[in-house]
């Protein structure tokens, strides 16, 4: 299973790098396909019928593409407001997760629907804003989640004993959380020492404040865990193991980008704060 996960991940990274190399239009279209799958899977987890899931996915992505190609994508203060609203919602969902870890709760289908058509477009807009800052900036923001995910996996397997939220996701442990934080901080510090002038998100944070940067990186890791756990909550209450079987060894698109959904708008807020 690990080998299959690695091969699939390498293919996905290769496709992403290829889309970045081909330019903005190719990148937008590739991400459009990805997000269509994510919206479809979110709506399935929300309990909508398959035809309705397809309709919502097409409608949401069509609007996002229309905004992009007509130059009407939110920017400046409007983008900041969108990202701040998304982060505020994710922080509210943290409270939901804390309660769900203590006693069974059920998030209603209308609420999940509303969250899907709000949080997924916000992540899209944040992703496009990061892309405008350059491929390296974008990849460095994505890498925060990738490094956290990899480090959490191996730390959890090696040292995982105490469960993080067994009612929501029995496989996640506090050791995994510690590994994710240590991995992200370690990679960020090494990058800052060896590539101090590289336009990385972590470098920008350290340049802004060497004391505050580790705290903000931990916050990003925490947000990635919130995104992951909330999707796990949706899957648990819908009785599904994965959001789909589209990606071998990984499940669905949403299973791969759930942790990115809260981190992308947060990264945009941080970069705008550091301007």
CA distances (Å), 100 to each of 74, 150, 201, 266, in order?
34, 25, 33, 24
pLDDT higher than threshold 70 for residue 3 = no
Phi, psi for 49 (deg, rounded to 5): -70, 155
The whole-model pTM stands at 0.93
Q: What is the mean pLDDT of residues 87-91?
A: 98
pLDDT band for position 57 (cuts 50, 70, 90): very high
What is the per-residue pLDDT for 274?
83
| Boundaries of domain holding 136 | 2-273
Tally the C-alpha atoms within 13 A of residue 96's C-alpha that lie toward its C-beta: 20
What is the per-residue pLDDT for 210?
93
Tell me what the pLDDT averaged over the chain comes to.
91
What is the per-residue pLDDT for 208?
93
Residue 239 burial class via C-beta count within 10 angstroms: exposed 0-12, middle 13-18, buried 19 and up: exposed
Give the number of domains in the chain.
Answer: 1
pLDDT band for position 20 (cuts 50, 70, 90): confident
pLDDT higher than threshold 80 for residue 176 = yes
Assess contact for 254 and 231: CB atoms under 8 A.
Answer: yes
């Amino acid at each position: 299973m690990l080998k299959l996960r690695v091969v699939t991940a390498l293919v996905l990274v290769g496709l992403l790098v290829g889309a970045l190399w081909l330019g903005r239009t190719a990148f937008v279209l590739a991400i459009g396909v990805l997000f269509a799958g994510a919206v479809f899977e979110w709506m399935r987890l929300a309990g909508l019928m398959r035809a309705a899931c397809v309709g919502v996915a097409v409608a949401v992505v069509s609007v996002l593409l229309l905004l992009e190609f007509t130059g009407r994508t939110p920017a400046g203060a409007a983008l900041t407001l969108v990202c701040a609203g998304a982060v505020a919602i994710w922080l509210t969902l943290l409270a939901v997760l804390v309660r769900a870890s203590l006693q069974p709760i059920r998030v209603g289908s209308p609420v999940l629907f509303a969250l899907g058509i709000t949080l997924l477009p916000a992540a899209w807009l944040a992703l496009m804003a990061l892309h405008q800052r350059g491929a390296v900036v974008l990849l460095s923001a994505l890498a925060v989640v990738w490094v956290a995910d990899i480090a959490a996996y191996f730390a959890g397997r090696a040292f995982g004993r105490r469960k993080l939220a067994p009612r929501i996701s029995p496989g996640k442990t506090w050791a995994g959380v510690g590994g994710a934080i240590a991995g992200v901080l370690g990679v960020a510090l090494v990058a800052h020492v060896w590539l101090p002038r590289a336009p990385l998100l972590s470098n920008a944070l350290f340049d802004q404040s060497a004391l505050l940067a580790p705290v903000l990186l931990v916050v990003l890791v925490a947000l990635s865990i919130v995104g992951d756990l909330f999707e796990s909550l949706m899957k648990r209450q819908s009785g599904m193991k994965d959001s789909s079987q589209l990606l071998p060894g990984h499940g669905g698109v949403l299973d791969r980008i759930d942790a990115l959904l809260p981190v992308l708008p947060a990264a945009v807020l941080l970069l705008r704060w550091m301007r």
